[in-house]
């Protein structure tokens, strides 16, 4: 028996690369600082991607799985594990129950999920990672003295009360780590040393050939370290990551009306700390936050799927929506979803006052109902509906005010309001400055409009020999200016001293006539 063990050890030693190990000093292991891991396990179990549940153990300031990882689908030991989107594992002697007892054996690239960075999540559950060299080193410091014995499970195969061969030197498992001797597999498909040795890959790679591992032995109480080929298969233990922001996805938005919508999200990972708030935020500008937004919901706590009701939206408006989740570290956000609200089907206007100098428009696809509604002198309002406009009692238009009601069958509704127009290059809220306004027939345009006094009239159908007649009237129909002009395309007008309000400009050119609206601020 002893001779066979020695022979196995000699064979094993010839297969492993030899290298002097030193503590990395390049800072690549972001978790090697003791202070960055000062947290508790939080839960006594953790579940992997295959639904396997593992016990956890807190050792000093590190939270470890107390069992070897066994996630994935078993493949034959003669077949290498591949980058195919499926987590694959080898089970000792190609017996599935050995994975249940000893955990799976994984090639380094597979367990790292083909990422080369130290501390990668790899095949570990969300919020956990493949420990690096320094984290294993810190574990040995935390339980210094007969470290291997404190990590190994107790009992022996010979006595029928353990998984290790005798003597299982100084095994106490006082740390609760519960290391078992799962052996390893070479790249030729040979399984070796179950019952004698436990081998744990860590996330420290070396060039393309090799990776670092830790070894526990049946006949000593040490934690040995060396390098071996990445193509060999070994056990894996996962270490809980330091708390981070939660991970949340944004659900699609449905049931969009002029003022409401339904959305939600899914908190897939709590970041290693309790999620104390979750919901959705939205705004008319991109990247809304829980601090800066046009609206926010609060929809419970913890991980999992949640639904949200968006209310108080404005019709005909583009919104940017994303889910959020908050823990003690901060707030994480899901991807942004863009939605646009439609026109209201029915619109009730009550208790509104359209003040002097104000020009506004309301629209609905079916019915607009107006009650207790006042249009002040030189105020203007346009109502456009697809079906009916109902003017109820207490609707009042003062002398010089303007109310225009229009039923449209071609969906010719209000233009976007100036304060909410958005550019194509930047979807940000901007105030549109006074600009050129063309009359409906295209005969002329006026700018700036609104104006503080001076404005320019531009003739589009220009004929240098043709005269034009220009009339400017107030909203009471009183003519303020009448003139005949010719010979130019641009004409300047000065309304300095005129009262603020809305004026109608009528232009007659030959057999053509058109009317436009000018706002004097």
HEC states along 341-395? CCCCCEEEEECCEECCCCEEEEEECCEEEEECEEECCCCEEEEEECCEEEECCCE
Q: Do 226 and 358 fall within a single domain?
A: no
Looking at the domain assignment, is residue 429 inside a domain? no
Taking residues 416-429, report their average pLDDT.
32
Q: Do 322 and 357 fall within a single domain?
A: no
Task: Give the closest residue to 199 by CA, choosing from 81, 98, 105, 73.
Answer: 105
pLDDT at residue 195 tops 50? yes
Domain termination site, one of 287, 308, 340: 340
Domain termination site, one of 207, 240, 273: 240
Looking at the domain assignment, is residue 87 inside a domain? yes
Looking at the domain assignment, is residue 357 inside a domain? yes
How much is the pLDDT for 7?
32
Looking at the domain assignment, is residue 430 inside a domain? no
Q: List pLDDT tens digits, range 207-216.
A: 888 999 999 9
Q: Do 197 and 93 fall within a single domain?
A: yes
Looking at the domain assignment, is residue 443 inside a domain? yes
Distance (Å) of CA 396 to CA 28, 57, 354, 390, 407:
74, 76, 10, 13, 20
Given pLDDT bands bounded at 50, 70 and 90, which one contains residue 513?
confident
Q: Do 267 and 194 fall within a single domain?
A: no
Task: Give the closest residue to 223 by CA, choosing from 265, 262, 177.
Answer: 177
Structure tokens given for 177: 């780590």
Domain at 449, CATH number:
2.60.40.3080
Q: Do 325 and 383 fall within a single domain?
A: no
Looking at the domain assignment, is residue 191 inside a domain? yes
What is the C-alpha to C-alpha distance for residues 473 and 471, in angstroms, rounded to an integer? 7
Q: Do 47 and 98 fall within a single domain?
A: yes
- Please, which residues bridge with residue 199 across strands? 215
pLDDT at residue 28 tops 70? no
Q: List pLDDT tens digits, range 486-497.
A: 767 888 888 888
Given pLDDT bands bounded at 50, 70 and 90, which one contains residue 440?
very low
Q: Do 441 and 504 fall within a single domain?
A: yes
Q: Do 114 and 208 fall within a single domain?
A: yes
Q: List pLDDT tens digits, range 91-138.
A: 999 999 999 999 999 999 999 999 878 888 999 998 899 999 999 999
pLDDT at residue 240 tops 80? yes
Given pLDDT bands bounded at 50, 70 and 90, which one contains residue 15?
very low
Q: Do 223 and 321 fall within a single domain?
A: no
Looking at the domain assignment, is residue 420 inside a domain? no
Domain with 398, as residue range(s), is 346-407
Q: Do 55 and 191 fall within a single domain?
A: yes
Q: How many domains does the chain have?
A: 4
Looking at the domain assignment, is residue 415 inside a domain? no
Domain termination site, one of 307, 340, 373: 340
């Amino acid at each position: 028996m002893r001779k066979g063990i020695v022979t196995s050890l000699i064979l094993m030693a010839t297969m492993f690369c030899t290298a002097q190990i030193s503590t990395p000093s390049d800072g690549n292991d972001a978790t090697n600082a003791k202070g960055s891991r000062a947290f508790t396990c939080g839960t006594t179990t953790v579940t992997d991607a295959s639904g396997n549940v593992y016990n956890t153990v807190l050792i000093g300031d590190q939270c470890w799985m107390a069992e070897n990882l066994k996630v994935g689908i078993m493949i034959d030991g003669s077949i290498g594990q591949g980058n195919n989107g499926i987590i694959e594992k080898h089970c000792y002697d190609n017996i599935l129950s050995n994975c249940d007892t000893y955990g799976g054996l994984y090639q380094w690239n597979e367990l790292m999920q083909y990422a080369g960075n130290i501390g990668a999540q790899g095949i570990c559950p969300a919020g956990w990672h493949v420990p690096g060299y320094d984290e294993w080193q810190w574990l040995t410091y935390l339980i210094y003295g007969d470290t291997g014995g404190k990590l190994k499970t107790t009992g022996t195969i010979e006595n029928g009360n353990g998984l290790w061969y005798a003597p299982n030197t100084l095994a106490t498992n006082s740390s609760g780590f519960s290391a078992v001797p799962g052996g390893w597999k070479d790249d030729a498909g040979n399984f070796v040393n179950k019952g004698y040795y436990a081998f744990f890959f860590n996330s420290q790679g070396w060039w393309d050939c090799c990776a670092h591992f830790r070894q526990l032995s049946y006949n000593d109480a040490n934690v040995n370290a060396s390098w071996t080929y990445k193509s060999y298969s070994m056990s894996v233990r996962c270490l809980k990551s330091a708390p981070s922001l939660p991970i949340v996805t944004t659900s699609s938005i449905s049931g969009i009306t002029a003022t409401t919508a339904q959305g939600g999200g899914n908190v897939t990972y709590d970041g290693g700390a309790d999620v104390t708030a979750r919901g959705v935020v939205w705004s008319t500008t991109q990247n809304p936050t829980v601090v800066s937004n046009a609206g926010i919901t609060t929809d419970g706590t913890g991980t999992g799927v949640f639904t949200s009701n968006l209310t108080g939206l404005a019709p005909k408006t583009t919104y940017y929506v994303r889910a959020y989740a908050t823990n003690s570290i901060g707030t994480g956000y899901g991807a942004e979803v863009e939605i646009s609200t439609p026109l209201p089907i029915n619109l009730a206007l009550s208790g509104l006052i359209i003040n002097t100098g104000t020009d506004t428009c309301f629209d609905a696809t079916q019915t607009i109902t107006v009650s207790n509604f006042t249009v002040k002198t030189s105020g203007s309002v346009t109502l456009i509906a697809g079906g009916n406009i109902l003017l109820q009692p207490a609707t009042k238009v003062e002398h010089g005010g303007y109310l225009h009601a229009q039923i449209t069958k071609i969906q010719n509704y209000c233009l976007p309001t100036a304060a909410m127009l958005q550019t194509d290059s930047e979807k940000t809220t901007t105030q549109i400055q006074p600009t050129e306004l063309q009359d409906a027939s295209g005969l002329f345009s006026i700018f700036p409009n609104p104006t503080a006094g001076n404005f320019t009239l531009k003739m589009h159908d220009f004929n240098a020999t043709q005269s034009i007649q220009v009339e400017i009237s107030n909203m009471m129909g009183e003519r303020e200016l009448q003139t005949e002009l010719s010979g130019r395309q641009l004409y300047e007008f000065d309304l300095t001293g005129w009262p603020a309000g809305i004026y109608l400009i009528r232009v007659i050119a030959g057999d053509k006539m058109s009317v436009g609206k000018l706002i004097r601020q």
